[in-house]
Amino acid sequence: MPLRYTIEDIAKRAGVSRGTVSRVLNNHPAVSDETRAHVQEVIDQLNYRPNFSARQLRTDSSNLVGFITDEVTTTPYAVDMIRGAQEALWSRGKVLLVINAGYGTKLIQSSLEVLLERRVEGVIYMAMYHHVVELPPQVAEVPLVLANCFATDASYPSVVPDEFGGGYAATQALLERGHRRIAFLNAGEQPGIMSSIPAAGGRLAGFKQALQDYGVSMDEDLLLYTDQSPACNYRMTMELMHKASPPSAIFCFNDRVALGCYGALAELRLRVPDDVAVVGFDNFTAIAECMWPQLTTVQLPHYEMGQWAVEYLMTAQKSSLQPIQHKLPCPLVRRQSV
């Protein structure tokens, strides 16, 4: 079993006081560069690791931030979401504790209790997709920021994508290339259920506004809804292209929808973008960069949401955390499908 050295061992070998070693470990400025370098060399030689529990009791700070998700850790976007939060924390010498809670208030509550037991300095709750969340009362015990989701009463600070701006950018890219018959394959099975899906409602509003700004009348015949399954994405594209006056461009709710759209267009021997232009949403590179031609799409700011949530959460250590409802831009990523 390897030896576990103490601060006293370091002080004895370095020929300094225990207090000097402690100041070096805590990066205190009242140590000369020469002494700091000498003590650090001894620390490295002994492979010393500070006792986390003792440091927490001494400083009354855990340097831990909790990160609760629903299904983020099982999605392709997990890396960017967590990386954005972790890198923002790492620069502050803090560590991210990630718990995949799944769906349901009880699971969130259990996860929160685990984090509170570890005296986290704050909690970020991040959702797989943009939606409203219900939170247990324990969240009031610690600073909290919501990412890719929001509370109905806007009582907690949140950061979400600007779905309207993304929908506008996608449609504008098609309008600027001269397209006037533009279809939108939105998410859902029928228009009546869309109000509860912020992404679908926001992207549709952006789509409509872009058409209006360019003086193009919207044809309701070119607005269809898909359940996002491959079969439905394919079928809805076929329905669009068999209309008496088919579209010259299709805006897809996300890149998975665009993938099915490509398949249907290929079967009809229609070329992208020469015959029909296509724009997606999400910038899921495993799809967008592997399609041919590569898919023009809109970037969801997963990395930026994780980063913003940490940056804002850390302000709670110095001031009260105001329930700001922040939106991050969703920029267009231009490739060859338009």
Mapped onto helix, strand or coil, the DSSP state of residue 121 is coil
Q: Is the pLDDT of residue 211 over 80?
A: yes
Share the mean pLDDT of the chain: 87
Domains along the chain with CATH numbers? 7-50 (1.10.260.40), 64-161+302-328 (3.40.50.2300), 163-298 (3.40.50.2300)
Residue 273 · residue 251 · CB < 8 Å: no
Q: What is the pTM of this model?
A: 0.80
Give, in order, the Cα–Cα distances in Å from 206 to each of 71, 76, 97, 172, 308: 27, 25, 36, 9, 24
pLDDT at 71: 67
Interval 255-278: pLDDT, tens? 999 999 999 999 999 999 999 999
Assess whether pLDDT exceeds 70 at residue 2.
no
Residue 137 pLDDT > 90: no
Whose CA is closest to 20, among 33, 36, 6?
A: 36
pLDDT (tens digit, 9 = 90+) per residue, 41-52?
Answer: 888 888 876 655
Q: What is the pLDDT of residue 283?
A: 95
At 113, is the pLDDT very low, low, confident or very high (cuts 50, 70, 90)? confident
DSSP state of 301: -
- Judge residue 321's burial from the number of C-beta atoms within 10 Å of its C-beta, 0-12 exposed, 13-18 middle, 19 or more buried: middle
Residue 107 DSSP class: H
- What pLDDT score was predicted for residue 21? 83
Mean local confidence (pLDDT), 139-166: 92
Mean pLDDT of all residues in 171-184: 98
Task: State residue 132's pLDDT score.
Answer: 87
What pLDDT was estimated at residue 103?
Answer: 63
Q: Sheet containing 277-279: which strands, arranged edge to edge? A: 223-226, 182-187, 249-252, 277-279
> By percentage, how much of the chain surpasses pLDDT 90?
51
204 or 48: which leads in pLDDT: 204
pLDDT grade for 11, boundaries at 50, 70 and 90: confident
Long-range contacts made by residues 227-230, C-beta under 8 angstroms, separation at least 24? 227/187, 227/188, 227/189, 228/187, 228/253, 228/254, 228/256, 228/257, 230/256, 230/259, 230/260, 230/263
Kindly indicate the confidence band of residue 200, based on its pLDDT and cuts at 50, 70 and 90: very high
Q: How far is CA 262 from the centre of its chain?
A: 27
